[in-house]
């Protein structure tokens, strides 16, 4: 049997989890190339919704092919073939709000709220009308990050006036849920509170509503995706492996509920010394970049771990506003521009 037939027969034993057919008959294999020295390379075209399965297929294919005599090296490139499902027919727009953008992360504490707050301010400084909603029922933090110390009012007891801060319209689930309420009681309250936040707040006309999600892939995410037409999602991850695995789960969840993932943000990407401005790669830097390539989504920003970012947040004015000319301020401004460009490209441009 020729080397090529041995390779295709081996690959035919691998099954595409989506169709149940083998990957060769399914046409997922493209550009198979075998050099005279036994180097095998090809593209494996998979659906982004099944990225984890794609990665497993790639591993299995590599180990199968490496066992074949005459094969010296195997290189498989995964490409994502995007087939987003139609939006949930029950998902509705929020009247007056042009784009709803969610900021999520697979794991807690990676800097999602910091990113959401700086991104909202960056978009606002581009003369866009921007709102921000803190949908983290378990640890609402935007009021602190944006320096809010009052509660929203209502003129008629039904509709809520959002708070205005730094030119942003702002609401937090924290306003609706008593901080002392035990965590297990918060879940059942969530759907009602989320509905109120989206439908009973006078958001007015907005170009973008940024939603800071709770970490992980829980009820808030699903309820949001099922009830509200979301323009896109951004996933924040730190460079460590564990956070990346979690980020992948986050990405898969958004794709499963048909929310386009606009890209990844690597936070705490490297350490910038506040004294000498020296850059140190504390974690192996570049992990998110590689992951973004594998997943076929853009890496929108690499944000350093810098004390000024935390200090600005603690003072209630995100760094993109308090020090827009700083390198970190610039990174968030660029992020805002990239996000806006990709929202404009999306269906409702």
Q: Is 114 in the site for ligand ATP (CB under 6 A)?
A: yes
Q: Is 139 in the site for ligand ATP (CB under 6 A)?
A: yes
The SS3 call for residue 117 is helix
Nearer to ligand ATP, 74 or 190 (CB): 190
CA distance 173 to 190: 9
Residue length of the chain: 349
Among 47, 48, 118, 141, binds Mg ion (CB under 5 A): 141
CA distance 43 to 29: 6
Quick note: the x/- pattern for ligand ATP over 312-331, rule CB under 6 A, is: -x------------------
Residues of this chain, 277-306, that bind ligand ATP according to CB under 6 A = 303, 305-306
Q: Are 291 and 247 a contacting pair, CB within 8 Å?
A: yes
* Smallest gap from residue 73 Cβ to Mg ion (A): 44
Q: Is 112 in the site for ligand ATP (CB under 6 A)?
A: yes
Q: Dump the DSSP string for 8-52.
A: HHHHTT-B-TTTSSBTTTTT-EEEEEE-TT-EEEEEEEEEGGGHH
* Smallest gap from residue 42 Cβ to ligand ATP (A): 38
Among 113, 172, 217, 342, binds ligand ATP (CB under 6 A): 113
Whole-Å CA distances, 84 to 49, 210, 254, 319: 8, 22, 10, 35
- Show the beta-strand stretches assigned E in the chain: 29-34, 39-47, 73-81, 97-104, 130-134, 153-154, 160-161, 163-165, 168-172, 206-212, 232-237, 261-272, 279-280, 299-305
The C-alpha torsion from 339 through 97 and 310 to 337, rounded to 10°, is 20
Q: Is 137 in the site for ligand ATP (CB under 6 A)?
A: no
CA distance 313 to 146: 7
Nearer to ligand ATP, 215 or 232 (CB): 215
φ, ψ (nearest 5 deg) of residue 261: -90, 115
Nearer to ligand ATP, 105 or 228 (CB): 105
Nearer to ligand ATP, 112 or 129 (CB): 112
Q: Is 309 in the site for ligand ATP (CB under 6 A)?
A: yes
Nearer to ligand ATP, 107 or 129 (CB): 107
Residues of this chain, 146-205, that bind Mg ion according to CB under 5 A = none
Quick note: the x/- pattern for Mg ion over 99-138, rule CB under 5 A, is: -------------xx-------------------------
- With CB under 6 A, what is the number of residues at the site for ligand ATP? 20
* Smallest gap from residue 330 Cβ to ligand ATP (A): 14
Task: Please report, in angstroms and rounded to a whole number, the separation of the first and last CA atoms in the chain.
Answer: 54
Nearer to ligand ATP, 268 or 295 (CB): 268
Positions in the binding site for Mg ion (CB under 5 A): 112-113, 141
Positions in the binding site for ligand ATP (CB under 6 A): 105, 108-114, 136, 139, 141, 215, 267-268, 303, 305-306, 309-310, 313
């Amino acid at each position: 049997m020729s080397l090529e037939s041995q390779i295709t027969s081996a690959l035919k034993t691998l099954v595409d989890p989506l169709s149940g057919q083998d990957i060769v008959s399914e046409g997922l294999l493209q550009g198979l190339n075998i050099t005279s020295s036994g180097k095998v390379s090809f593209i494996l075209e998979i659906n982004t919704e099944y990225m984890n399965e794609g990665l497993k297929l790639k591993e299995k294919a590599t180990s199968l092919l490496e066992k074949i005599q005459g094969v010296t090296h195997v290189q498989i490139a995964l490409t994502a073939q995007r087939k987003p499902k139609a939006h949930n027919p029950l998902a509705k727009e929020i009247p007056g709000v042009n784009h709803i953008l969610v900021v999520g992360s697979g794991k807690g504490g990676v800097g999602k709220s910091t990113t959401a707050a700086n991104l909202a301010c960056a978009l606002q400084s581009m003369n866009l009308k921007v709102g921000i909603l803190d949908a983290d029922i378990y640890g609402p933090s935007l009021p602190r990050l944006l320096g809010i110390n009052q509660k929203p009012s209502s003129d008629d007891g039904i509709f809520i006036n959002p708070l205005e801060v730094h030119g942003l319209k702002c609401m937090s689930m924290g306003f609706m849920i008593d901080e002392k309420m035990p965590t297990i009681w918060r879940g059942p309250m969530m759907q009602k509170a989320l509905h109120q936040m989206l439908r009973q707040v006078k958001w007015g006309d907005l170009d973008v509503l940024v939603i800071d999600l709770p970490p992980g892939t829980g009820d808030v995410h699903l309820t949001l995706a099922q009830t509200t037409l979301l323009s896109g999602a951004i996933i924040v991850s730190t460079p460590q492996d564990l956070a990346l695995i979690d980020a992948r789960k986050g990405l898969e969840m958004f794709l499963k509920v048909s929310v386009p993932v606009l890209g990844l943000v690597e936070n705490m990407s490297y350490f910038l010394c506040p004294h000498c401005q020296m850059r140190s790669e504390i974690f192996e830097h570049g992990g998110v970049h590689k992951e973004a390539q594998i997943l076929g989504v853009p890496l929108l920003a690499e944000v350093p771990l810098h004390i000024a970012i935390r200090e600005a947040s603690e003072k209630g004015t995100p760094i993109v506003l308090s020090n827009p000319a700083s390198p970190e301020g610039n990174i968030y401004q660029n992020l805002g521009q990239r996000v806006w460009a990709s929202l404009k490209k999306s269906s409702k441009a």
